[in-house]
Structure 1
Amino acid sequence: MSAKSLCYYLLLLVVYFSLSASSTAASKVSAIIVFGDSTVDPGNNNFIPTVAKSNFPPYGRDFDGGVATGRFSNGRLVTDFLSEAFGLPSSVPAYLDPSYTIEQLATGVSFASAGTGLDDLTAKIASVIPLSQQLEYFVEYKERLKLAKGESIANKIIAEALYIFSIGTNDFILNYLVLPLRPAQYTAPEYVAYLIVLADAAVRDAYDLGARKIEFTGLAPFGCVPAVRTLNHNEPGECNQEYNKFARRFNAELQEAVRKLNGELAGVQVVYAETYSVGSAIIANPSGYGFENVVQGCCGTGLIDLSVLCGVDEPLTCQDAEKYMFFDSVHPSERTYRIVADNVLNNALQVFL
């Protein structure tokens, strides 16, 4: 190879690696910032006066160190797996946990609160943190980040972060489908539409605060969680298909809202993360996903055990949560969360990789 050819070859390599580095940097996620309910709460409820807590055994028994962090599962959540997949820490910390410094929260933080919803009434029912307050905490977080990192670096972290919303189930199973107030005000389609307006407003609020990469998670088939099966008076032990209709209606309207947001907000990329289909697929074919039980939770009797009831019935808790789709009567096991995370990563979040 002549000297001229060698120089040309080296130049091509430099250009190639420069472009590759530029592409990687452009798609890099600086942090995972989370809003939502128990599906993504890593322990914020530990620090507020509510009964909606899980900071005791058997919760967290498969988490690093066997610690019950406040996550409603035996181990990690979807957001923890996503954080790791983006090259960030293997778990997303709770904003209200004083043991974390702003330096640690700079690569990921969750403002989520178990029991909350898009509807502020849902948060009041469970005495937890409403979504509006979570967004206020985010404003506070931004100011803390600027003080710690400087305005330029803080703004870069905020702009390049991935924002995840996982919320909505409690508006139905703790509110509309069990209490009389909202049904007296809204028909079923009207209530779903009302929630979509709130979801749209929350995304716009996050956008105004600097969010540009946003994922909004659709609802899973919550009519099939063990507690709902147990309380299904018409068909005990079976999925409540009326409940699942609410999830499908919400998801369809949320996808339309996402399309609208992308068309109206400059420079934003909002994606819808599908979870209903993967949940349904597991329920239809448990063994295909390595599960032996999809109708009961691992904790206690597995029928209505949740939060403190899991602690009371801890001696009854299953030995191997890997075989169970659900850890308690409402929340998935770590293994289920991993499957959902892989699905979300390989589909909705591909644009951010």
Structure 2
Amino acid sequence: MKGRYPSTVSFLLFFVHVFLWSSTTEARIKLPANKTVPAVIIFGDSIVDTGNNNNNLLSPARSNFPPYGRDFRGGKPTGRYSNGKVPSDLLVDELGIKELLPPYAAPKLTPQDVLTGVCFAVGGVGYDPLTSKLAAVPPLTDQLEKFKEYIEKLKVIAGEERTKFILANSVIFVVLSSNDIANTYFTARVRSLQYDVPAYTDFMVSHASEFVKALFELGTRRIAVLGAPPIGCVPSQRTLGGGIERNCYEQENEAAKLFNSKLSASLDSFKSNVSPDARIVYVDIYYPLLDIIQNPTQYGKFVRSICLKSFD
């Protein structure tokens, strides 16, 4: 592989540099002398979930069983949708905050865990409340309510002023939209009976904007909202809509690009109307991931038998 981590994570780490006005990029991030990241807090879906869905026995969207976790500590599943770490863990490790980002639902969160950030993401969630209902998981608004609980815990541990500092200087990631497009709209086709793609992406962006506004009102000031990936190129979607040759499902990819353009514009508009100390940005992951898909040998060894399996 090129570098220490997959390209998308490296891209996000580079983004953190830009986010904090840094001008250097090295394997281990060195922040500018006047910048600090006391914590990383992540909201979203299975891409970044570190184990918040383990006890939800009603949901099929769980990953606390083998083969998940086979390359993790002790080879045990933790609720991460991966054989090992997920991007949430890689980000906090590279920032030098801690090795792993614990789920907020962890039974034994320590004060240090709270001070340095947690993960609220839950596999199966989307901006669309119906997406969560189809996966039998709590809606995105539940992550916001748990974040409010977290803030109260911060106040008990660190006090009011330190809590304000942590919220304002931590990096907040919002990672959603894949389930809305792939599952709710194109697979279950529930929303396609109500909306065409332009109207549905408007609906998604409306919910995304409301969520970001709520985070800002709770005191966060460094918010990174990731766009949709080329979701039509993941194995399951190739199987469903890619034809006999299992090409990328282009209708899904077009929907993702349309959503991304609207999300970016919405965030720019919001940013222009808030205090100048706020850094609220759209992060494009569509094209970096598409480049990996289209040019796999540039990023490491290409094993076709693995790429054709549909474990996602």
TM-score class, shorter-chain normalisation, is 0.7 to 0.9
TM-score calculated relative to the size of structure 1? 0.75
Q: Is the 8 A contact 2:235 2:309 kept in 1?
A: yes
Correspondence 1:1-353 to 2 at 5 A? 24=32, 26-49=34-57, 50-232=59-241, 234-266=243-275, 267-293=277-303, 296-297=306-307, 303-305=309-311, 330=312
Task: State the Cα RMSD in Å.
Answer: 1.7
1:176 to partner: Cα distance: 1.0
SS of the equivalent of 1:103 reads helix
Residue type at the aligned position of 1:218:
G
Pair 1:97–1:232, CA change in 2 (3 A)? same
Pair 1:150–1:26, CA change in 2 (3 A)? same
* Distance across 2 between alignment mates of 1:104 and 1:179: 38
Residue type at the aligned position of 1:47:
N
1:199 to partner: Cα distance: 0.6
SS of the equivalent of 1:47 reads coil
Q: Is the 8 A contact 1:286 1:293 kept in 2?
A: no
Between 212-221 and 154-163, the greater mean CA deviation after superposition? 154-163
SS of the equivalent of 1:272 reads strand
SS of the equivalent of 2:41 reads strand
Q: Is the 8 A contact 2:175 2:226 kept in 1?
A: yes
Q: Is the 8 A contact 2:93 2:99 kept in 1?
A: yes
Identical counterparts, % of pairs: 38
Q: Is the 8 A contact 1:196 1:257 kept in 2?
A: yes
Residue type at the aligned position of 1:48:
N
SS of the equivalent of 2:37 reads coil
* Distance across 1 between alignment mates of 2:94 and 2:34: 17
Residue type at the aligned position of 1:291:
K
1:127 to partner: Cα distance: 0.8
SS of the equivalent of 1:109 reads coil
1:113 to partner: Cα distance: 0.4
Pair 1:282–1:180, CA change in 2 (3 A)? closer
* Distance across 2 between alignment mates of 1:103 and 1:62: 26
Residue type at the aligned position of 1:190:
A
Q: Is the 8 A contact 1:219 1:276 kept in 2?
A: yes
Q: Is the 8 A contact 1:237 1:295 kept in 2?
A: no
* Distance across 2 between alignment mates of 1:271 and 1:295: 37
* Distance across 2 between alignment mates of 1:209 and 1:232: 41
1:161 to partner: Cα distance: 0.8
Between 154-163 and 211-220, the greater mean CA deviation after superposition? 154-163
* Distance across 1 between alignment mates of 2:304 and 2:43: 27
Q: Is the 8 A contact 2:50 2:88 kept in 1?
A: no
Q: Which residue of 1 aligns with 2:13?
A: none
* Distance across 1 between alignment mates of 2:293 and 2:282: 22
SS of the equivalent of 1:99 reads coil
Q: Is the 8 A contact 1:117 1:169 kept in 2?
A: yes
Structure (1 or 2) with the greater helix fraction: 1
Pair 1:262–1:81, CA change in 2 (3 A)? same
1:133 to partner: Cα distance: 0.6
Q: Is the 8 A contact 2:69 2:75 kept in 1?
A: yes
Gaps (5+ residues) in structure 1?
1-22, 306-329, 331-353
SS of the equivalent of 1:40 reads coil
Between 133-142 and 275-284, the greater mean CA deviation after superposition? 275-284
1:57-107 deviation digits (Å, cap 9, x = unpaired): 221122233231111111112222111222211211100111222431221
Equivalenced residues, count: 280
SS of the equivalent of 1:97 reads coil
1:144-200 deviation digits (Å, cap 9, x = unpaired): 111122222222111111100000010011101123431222111000011011111
* Distance across 1 between alignment mates of 2:242 and 2:281: 37
SS of the equivalent of 2:241 reads coil
SS of the equivalent of 2:253 reads helix
Bigger Rg, structure 1 or 2: 1
* Distance across 2 between alignment mates of 1:265 and 1:78: 29
1:233 to partner: Cα distance: 5.9
TM-score calculated relative to the size of structure 2? 0.85
Q: Which runs of 4+ in 1 moved over 4 A?
A: 294-297
